[in-house]
Each structure stands twice: as structure tokens, then as C-alpha cells.
Chains A and B, each alone.
Chain A
Amino acid sequence: MYRYDEFDRKFLEERLVQYRDQVRRRLAGQLSEDEFRSLRLMNGLYLQLHAYMLRISIPYGTLSSAKLRGLAAVARRWDKGYGHFTTRQNIQFNWIRLEDTPDILAHLAAVELHGIQTSGNSFRNITTDPFAGVADDEIEDPRPYCEIVRQWSALHPEFSFLPRKFKIAINAAGEDRAAIKIHDLGLRLRRDESGEVGFAVMVGGGLGRTPILAQTVREFVPRRELLAYITACLRVYNQYGRRDNLFKSRIKILVQALGIEKYREEVEAEYAAMGAERAALALPDETVAAMQAQFAPPAYRDAVNDDAELARATAAEPEFARWIEYNTRAHKRPGYAIVVISLKPPGRPTGDCSAGQMETIADLADALSFGEVRVTHDQNLVLPHVRKSALYDLWLRLGAADLATPNIGLASDIIACPGLDYCSLATARSIPIAQALSQHLAKREETIGPLQIKISGCINACGHHHVGHIGILGLEKNGAESYQITVGGSDNAQAALGGIVGPAVAAHEVTGTVDRLIDTYLRLRQDGEQFPDTYRRVGLAPFKEALYVAR
């Protein structure tokens, strides 16, 4: 993976010295909260309901075992023994003390982690396919491009005062596991007719109170031109994006207001006018190759009769077979598999991982995955390079740490934000809803098949409810929690926003309502259809009717 160079290390060192002094002055009363707030946010430190919350950037969801142990140490030493993986492949710690943060950040800097640009009106974490570099449907590894774009976006002087936060995602596979259509800027790596590598550039996606899917600005930007072109895209946003109204400041609002044709016109005009700057921003093949070398595949071994061994083990143990079916994915290298570690045992807060579990996973990564771990935007973890012959051993060891629930992609693999139990923005709780649902649905989730339930505790949609097959939005009505339910959302290449199925329901009605929606799907589905397929065929009406009749 990308290793810090001297510049990166020096920069972090200097930032730490500055920050330590800022905290000292804040605690001594020399800085007011108003003065300090933007300074702490520049390092990812929020103030939530019960404590400070620290969000640490995990660039494009890639971790080494050393980094994961560093995070475990933070959880153990300075938090309540756990961390929470987020829908942007980052990690959050919920119980942080301001006075500890300089030491925490110093500790993390030693493993090349930080909280910079995880908050504020800046570029945020660049996210990608958690199976980057190993998926069998990949065109190329997106990670070198993620790192190139990350470096371009880090403390970019021209874009240090964007109208609002800016989220970028990159996908390089047939399937979209990076949800690029719900990002401010989505880049889809592709080849043109001559086989040249480039990117489809999509702009203006986002969720929140006004969910909108990204639109294509240009079908193909040659790789060499990528940074120049996205500079043009950002320049138009930086110029015309609204700074007068917080709720109209994202690029999706600008694209909607201008229309995609006008926005594209502006971008192309800017791009054409860039002249010599285009050459300065060009990505020659040597630059890309040098970055790709930082992400070279590990020293894979040749597969030796692993499939037969695996077949024997799955035949002998149905539980293992279940875990293989749901929690592993095909690897581009024969003899290897991708393993998804479920952080969704029914009843557990989604995406939470204890310090002990992190340390176990780091050890397993070292033993069985070349020291690499990934974070998914579904709040799970991945071991990207596991020999098939090691899968049984891995399953046993994950199981001992409560990390082997065979539910990836199934109904109990729920995305839920921290919600009103933690977050100062929340209007309702999401974790207890997720816990109740996952425990209830786990019994029949194999019958149901793949199903994505996503829960947000407020309109800001951090739980991505708009793009859940079943989405749940927690609101407040007359002092009580009230849940609005949608169906038919999707965050992949066929991205779609869910439709509201009926009036909002009380917390104790959510499970029953979701049950009826699932029953409707099961009743109507045809061969091979997953939830979004059935929804596209039958529409919203049958789902609304099912709830209306029940009332």
C-alpha cells in the first residue's frame, strides 16, 4: 500500500505540534469554543451527545495489520474498548476526551493514520471497492488512482474553502461496490474502444435531505487527463456553489439548478481554457506505474488442489458451508478467496468492533492475508487474500471471536448509523431498530436471500437509507420517534432512490412493517429476482397496498 514519504511524515508532525498547542490553549481558556471548533474539526474531532467523537480517515478503506493494531490501542487505552466502522470506510471512536486527543493523534501518526479532512467543507475520504486489487470482475486496481486523487485533494490550496463537504468515490469493477452514483464525484474506470484506460466522470450525487443520483459529465476522460478534468469540475463548483444557504451548498444542488447540460458546458469551457495547467496536472504513464508499484500484488503462492479440500470441508460442516457461501467472494488469483468479516452478529450494534476483535483480525491478517485488511462501506471488514486451503482454519478462528456470522448481503447485514444513542444531529435511534430487525430476520434470512436494509437516525442519511432495498428513516413526531420506510433503493450500478410506502410508524411497529414488505416481495418474486428486480417489475403499489390492508 501507499507508504508515507518524508513530506507526509513531516507534515503530520507539524500538524500534531500545532494541534497539541491548540488543545492546551483551549483547556486553559485562551481559545473559546467558537475559535476552537473549526480547528478541532480539521482533525476530525466532533462533540457529540456524550463525549467527543474522533473520526479517523482510512484512505479508500485500506488498512495494514499495524494500522489496525494502532486503532485497537486507541479503543483500548483511550475509549471504551471498541470502535465503529462507518459508511465511508472510516472509523469513529465515540468516547474520546479532548485532553487525550493530542496523545491519540500522535499514537496514530506513528502508524500513518490521522483525522485530517474527515470533517468540514473539504474533500473527505476517497472511497472505493473493498475488493480493490483482488476482485475477479475488476478492470484494474482502483487504489493507485484513489491515492493519486487523495494526494491531489489533500489540502488543495485552491479548494481549501469549498462551499461544502465533497465526497469522491472510484469504481473499477463490473459491479459497483463503491456506490459512485451517490457521491459528489463518482469516477468509473473503463476502457474506450481502442482499449485505452480512462474514466467516466459523474457528478452531483448525494443523499441527505435531497437525495439525487449523480449524472455523467463526460463518458470518457483519458487517464492522463483525469486530474485536469476533475479540477475543472471542482472549479465550476467552487465558483458557483452556494455559500449562502447550508442546505443548498452541495454540488448536487448546483448541478440540479444549472441542469447537467449547462454544468457540463461550464466544465468543458473551463477545461478547454486550462492550457498549460493541463500539462502540469497530466498523469503520464510513468507516474501511474510508479503509484501502481506501491500497490503491487503480494507474493501469492500457487494453488495446490485447494478446491477439493474445500469441497470436503463444506460437505462435512453445513455451518462452514454457509459461511463460505455468504462471506467469501471469488478472487482473481486461483487458489485464493476474498473473505468478508461480518461485524453484524444479530443484536450487536452494526459496524462496532472491539479492541480484542481488531487485534484478532490483525493477527489473522498477518497469518493469512499478507497483513492486509479492508473496510467496506457496509460497515464490515475484509481479508482480501486468503488461500482457500486456509479458509476452514480462518472460519474457526473468526468464529471464536464472534466474527463469523454467515450473513453478508442478507437481511441481518444491516447498515445503521449511530443515531440518537450517540449523535447530536439525530432525531431518532437507529441501533435498537437494527438490533431488533436483525434478530427477528436472522431466522429466515436465507429464505429471503440477498436484502439490503439501511437505517438512518436523521435526515442527513449517514445510514444511506435512500438506497436501501428497504430504507428506514428515523424522525421525531410530537416528541416520539417515528420511522418512515422506503422500498426499492439500490446503491450499485443500477442505483435508485427508494419510494415511501406509507405513513411513518412507531418504533415498535417497524419490525412488523418490514416483515409485511418482505412477505410481499416473497409472494411476488419470480425466478432469480432479488428485491430491486421485483420492485422494478411491480413498482411501489403492491408494497403500499400490503401495509394499507394490514392497517
Chain B
Amino acid sequence: MNDRVLKLVTGNRLRDGAVVYFAGVGTWTRRIDDARLVEDADGAALLAEAQAGPPPHPAVGPVLIEAVRESDRILPVTLRERIRAFGPTVTYRSH
């Protein structure tokens, strides 16, 4: 398994706050598996690329986070980012 720690950019979509990931070429995706993943050294450049573009920027507060590639999936390193990627860990009974 490749457990090198890599970097990707995440933010919240402007219009609805949904968690989004920078997929490169000015696009943002809801699916973390489609995020553009780079080596640690290339993180700053990726962030700059993600932040570029005329307003309205589609994502609020883009930041670099750590992630690993696990076969065909991308997994964030921190619990917080896993919760952002995969949703609250709480189960609900609706009524």
C-alpha cells in the first residue's frame, strides 16, 4: 500500500457550504477521489492554483490538507477531514 502523505486542497462551496475538493484546471468536485493530489513540495503551488480565478470564487476558504492514496481511493489523514469527506458519524432515526 502506498502510504506516502500527499496534499490536496479543500474548501466549502460558496453557494451552499458543501465540502468540495480542487480537481485542477479551475474545477471543484464533491468527490474526494477526484481531487488533485500532489507531493508535499508541490502543495503551495496547488493552493495558489486553487485560489486563482476571478470572483466569485466557487470555494470559500481553500486550504491544503494531508491525504493518502489507498488503491483507487483518497483518504484524508485527520479525523476532521474524514468527517468532512464522508459526513457526520452520527446515525439518525427520523420521525
Binding site for B on A (CB under 8 A): 26-30, 32-33, 47-52, 81-82, 96-99, 345, 347-349, 352, 354, 356-357, 401-402, 420-422, 426, 429, 431-432, 435, 479-481
**Top 9 closest A-B pairs, CB basis?**
A29-B55, A29-B56, A97-B16, A421-B88, A51-B17, A52-B17, A354-B95, A99-B15, A431-B90
Q: Map CB proximity to A onto B49-91 as digits: 1 under 8 Å, 0 otherwise.
A: 0000011110011000000000000000111100110011111
> A82 near B55 (CB under 8 angstroms)?
no
CA distance A243 to B66 in the complex (A): 34
Say how far B95's CB is from chain A's closest CB, in angstroms: 5
Instruction: Bin chain B's interface residue count.
Output: 20 to 34
A347-B93, A348-B93 known; A48-B17 Cβ under 8 A: yes
Say how far A216's CB is from chain B's closest CB, in angstroms: 41
A49-B84, A50-B84 known; A421-B90 Cβ under 8 A: yes
Q: What would be 17 A-B contacts, judged by CB atoms less than 8 Å apart?
A: A33-B61, A47-B61, A48-B17, A50-B18, A50-B19, A51-B16, A51-B18, A52-B17, A98-B15, A98-B16, A347-B91, A349-B92, A352-B92, A356-B95, A401-B95, A432-B89, A479-B77
Asked if B2 is at the interface (CB within 8 A of a chain A CB), the reply is no
Inside 8 A of A48's CB, which chain B residues have their CB?
Answer: 17
> B92 near A420 (CB under 8 angstroms)?
no
Binding site for A on B (CB under 8 A): 12, 14-19, 54-57, 60-61, 77-80, 83-84, 87-95
> B95 near A27 (CB under 8 angstroms)?
no
CA distance A352 to B80 in the complex (A): 22
15 extra interface residue pairs, beta carbon distance < 8 Å, beyond A47-B61, A357-B95, A431-B88: A26-B56, A29-B56, A49-B80, A49-B84, A50-B19, A50-B87, A51-B17, A81-B94, A82-B92, A96-B17, A98-B16, A420-B79, A421-B89, A429-B79, A429-B83
CA distance A306 to B80 in the complex (A): 54
Binding site secondary structure of chain B: loop
A50-B18, A52-B17, A422-B88 known; A30-B79 Cβ under 8 A: no
Say how far A497's CB is from chain B's closest CB, in angstroms: 28
Say how far B73's CB is from chain A's closest CB, in angstroms: 19
CA distance A182 to B88 in the complex (A): 30
> B57 near A29 (CB under 8 angstroms)?
yes
CA distance A401 to B88 in the complex (A): 24
- A400 to B, closest residue via Cβ: B95
A29-B57, A32-B55 known; A49-B94 Cβ under 8 A: no
Inside 8 A of A420's CB, which chain B residues have their CB?
Answer: 79-80, 83
Inside 8 A of B55's CB, which chain A residues have their CB?
Answer: 29-30, 32
A28-B56, A420-B83 known; A82-B17 Cβ under 8 A: no
- A353 to B, closest residue via Cβ: B95
Inside 8 A of B84's CB, which chain A residues have their CB?
Answer: 49-50
> A82 near B94 (CB under 8 angstroms)?
yes
> A97 near B92 (CB under 8 angstroms)?
no
- B93 to A, closest residue via Cβ: A348
> A47 near B17 (CB under 8 angstroms)?
yes
CA distance A157 to B2 in the complex (A): 59
> B83 near A421 (CB under 8 angstroms)?
yes
A420-B79, A420-B80 known; A47-B60 Cβ under 8 A: yes
- A81 to B, closest residue via Cβ: B94
> B95 near A402 (CB under 8 angstroms)?
yes
Inside 8 A of B61's CB, which chain A residues have their CB?
Answer: 33, 47
CA distance A432 to B83 in the complex (A): 13
CA distance A435 to B89 in the complex (A): 11
Inside 8 A of A480's CB, which chain B residues have their CB?
Answer: 79
Inside 8 A of B91's CB, which chain A residues have their CB?
Answer: 347, 435
Across the interface, B12 reaches (CB within 8 A) one of A47, A356, A435, namely A47
Say how far A410's CB is from chain B's closest CB, in angstroms: 20
CA distance A98 to B60 in the complex (A): 12
Inside 8 A of A352's CB, which chain B residues have their CB?
Answer: 92
**Interface-central residue, B60, B78, B87, B88, by most chain A CB under 10 Å:** B88
> A50 near B60 (CB under 8 angstroms)?
no
Inside 8 A of A49's CB, which chain B residues have their CB?
Answer: 19, 80, 83-84
Across the interface, B16 reaches (CB within 8 A) one of A32, A52, A401, A426, namely A52
Say how far A142's CB is from chain B's closest CB, in angstroms: 33
Say how far B78's CB is from chain A's closest CB, in angstroms: 7
Inside 8 A of B83's CB, which chain A residues have their CB?
Answer: 49, 420-421, 429
Inside 8 A of A50's CB, which chain B residues have their CB?
Answer: 17-19, 84, 87-88
Inside 8 A of A481's CB, which chain B residues have their CB?
Answer: 79
